[in-house]
Amino acid sequence: MSIMELRDVNHVFRRGGKEVHAVNGVSLSVAKGETVAVIGESGSGKSTLGRIALGLITPTSGSVVFDGIELTALSRKQMRPLRSRLQVVFQEPYESLNPRLKVGDIIAEPLIIHRPELSRAERREKVVAMLERVGLTAEHADRLPRNLSGGQQQRIGIARAIITEPELVILDEPTSSLDVSVRARVLDLLRDLQRERGISYVFISHDLATVGLISDRVAVMYLGTVVEQGPTQEVLTNPRHPYTQALMSATLSTVVGQKREHVPLRGEIPNPSKKPTKCVLSGRCPIEVDACSSWQVRLAQVADRHEVACMRVEQEQKQPVELGGGR
């Protein structure tokens, strides 16, 4: 049973008179209690996708269904009561906290909005319990966000997101601005909370190593398009799309001498100003052939629940013997 279902979502916005095709035909489903990671670099459309899932942006086309409710059909006003069930944690912990509000007030805010029947004392009690749950103390409630460390700030962001007991939380790079030692502990907290409360996560990240630790399934995005998706273990151990392989090989191991052959991509990510009419990786791909430039991107199954959007992989699937000989 899926809690969120995105179907053929497209989003185009205008920036400085130019069109930006941020999301192109993305379909994604999140099951209850599951963590789906959305991987991509800047400009991949992963954050836009997160905002679409949150109902903060209405996509140009496509459908976003949260627990049976079509979000794209709702007005902002109709959306509001749903927000207690659908929450978000942002990348920049400090910037996502109002610098003028005390920590206690920040965490209490969702309760004030969604549980107005609670008395001040009841609210306070819940806030303190939540602070303690995320590894802080009651004493932190009276502090301002700027007097806390990055890790503590992100714990507050998490506390605010889960105090209304949401069913789905979009985690938009929740750990990428944190130091490594802090990062591991915040990830632990997120995992514990998921186990306790059965929350579903959409974990948006550019870091495959982190994703490997927390997600059940992963979708790799490039230029607004999902190029590979599947169970995390399967994708990480057997990445098929050249972009996924490049992304993986770009992560450096801390084990001296443990090197992975670098799958280099030429150049850099182009501007997503046009709707892709050929393979999105065309022009950067190490295994590109002429036919790629007239190939329409589509996902094809390569293994159980493992899908890849690459013409060469697709052909290989169809005629494994012939291509196998050519390698």
Partner 1 sequence: MLRVQGLTSQFRGRAGVVRAIDDVSFEVPAGEAVGIVGETGSGKSVTIRSILGLLPSYGRVVAGSAEFEGEDLIKLSRTRLREIRGARIGFVAQNPFGALNPVLSIEKQFRNVMRAHRRMSRAELHDLAIERLTAVQVRGPERVLRGYAHELSGGMAQRVVIALAMLHDPPLVIADEPTTALDVTVQRQILDLIDSQVKQGGRSLLLVTHDLGVVAQYCHRVVVMKSGRVVETGLVADVFTNPTHEYTKQLLDAVPPAPWAQEAPGLTEQAVTSR
Partner 2 sequence: MSDAAAIPKSPAAEVVTKIVNFARVSPGIVAGVAVLLFLLLASFLAPLPYDPVTPDPTSVLQPPSAQHIFGTDANGFDVFSRVVAAGRSDLPLALAGTLASLVIGLLVGLPLSVKSKWSEGFMRALDAFQSFPLIVLSVTIVSLTGNDIQNILYAIVIINGPRFIRLIRSEALAIREARFIEAAIATGARPRRVMFRHIMPNVIDVCLVQCSLTTANAVIVIAALNFLGIGVSPPTPTWGSMVQVGAQAISTGQWWIAIWPGVAIFIAIASLNMLANGIQRRVEGS
**Interface ranges with partner 2 (CB under 8 A):** 54, 56, 80-84, 87-88, 90, 92, 95-101, 109-110, 113-114, 146, 157, 160
Task: Identify which of residues 237 and 319 has a Cβ nearer to partner 1 in the complex.
Answer: 237
Coil, strand or helix: which one is 231? strand
Q: Following DSSP, what letter does each residue of 54-112 receive, concatenated?
A: TTSS--SEEEEEETTEEGGG--HHHHGGGGGTEEEE-S-TTTTS-TTS-HHHHHHHHHH
Query: Per CB under 8 A, does 319 bind partner 1?
Result: no
Non-local (6+) Cβ contacts of 25 within 8 A are 8, 9, 10, 62, 225, 297
Closest contact distance (angstroms) between CB of 192 and partner 1 is: 17
Using CA atoms, how far apart are residues 255 and 40, in angstroms rounded to an integer? 25
Determine which residue in the list 32, 83, 126, 206 makes contact with partner 1, applying CB under 8 A. 206
Which of 168/220 has CB closer to partner 1? 220
Least distance in angstroms from the C-beta of 126 to partner 2:
15
Interface segment toward partner 1; rule CB under 8 A; list 79-87, 108-116, 134-142, 208-216: 208-216
Cβ-based nearer residue to partner 1, 86 or 308: 308
Smaller CB separation from partner 2, 82 or 138:
82
The Cα–Cα gap between 231 and 217 comes to 4
Instruction: Provide the 3-class DSSP secondary structure of residue 4.
Output: strand
* Number of residues located near partner 1, criterion CB under 8 A: 49
247 binds, among partner 1, partner 2, none (CB under 5 to 8 A by kind): partner 1
- 9-68 residues in contact with partner 1 (CB under 8 A) are 41-42
Q: Is 249 left (phi over 0), alpha (psi -120 to 50) or beta?
A: alpha
For the chain, what is the radius of gyration of the CA atoms?
A: 21
CA distances from 317 to 81, 230, 232, 280, 309 (A): 47, 16, 21, 20, 12
Nearer to partner 1, 78 or 251 (CB): 251
CB of 190 to partner 1, least distance (A): 14
Chosen residue from 23, 53, 71, 208 binding partner 1 by CB under 8 A: 208
253 belongs to the binding site for partner 1 (CB under 8 A): yes
| Residue of 12, 56, 101, 184 that binds partner 1 (CB under 8 A) | 184
| DSSP structure string for 148-197 | S-HHHHHHHHHHHHHTT--SEEEEESTTTTS-HHHHHHHHHHHHHHHHHH
Q: Which stretch binds partner 1 (CB under 8 A): 2-10, 139-147, 180-188, 303-311?
A: 180-188
CB under 5 to 8 A by kind: which of partner 1, partner 2, none does 226 bind?
none
- DSSP label at 43? T
Task: Based on the shown chain and the rule CB under 8 A, indicate whether residue 321 belongs to the binding site for partner 1.
Answer: no
By CB under 8 A, residue 240 contacts partner 1: yes
Closer to partner 2 by Cβ: residue 90 or 222: 90
How far, in Å, are 63, 106, 108, 160 from residue 122 at the CA level? Answer: 38, 16, 10, 16
CB contact at 8 A, 25 and 191 = no
Output the smallest distance, CB 296 to partner 1, in A: 23
Q: Which residues bind partner 1 (CB under 8 A)?
A: 41-42, 150, 179-181, 183-184, 206-213, 233, 236-240, 245-265, 267-269, 286-287, 327
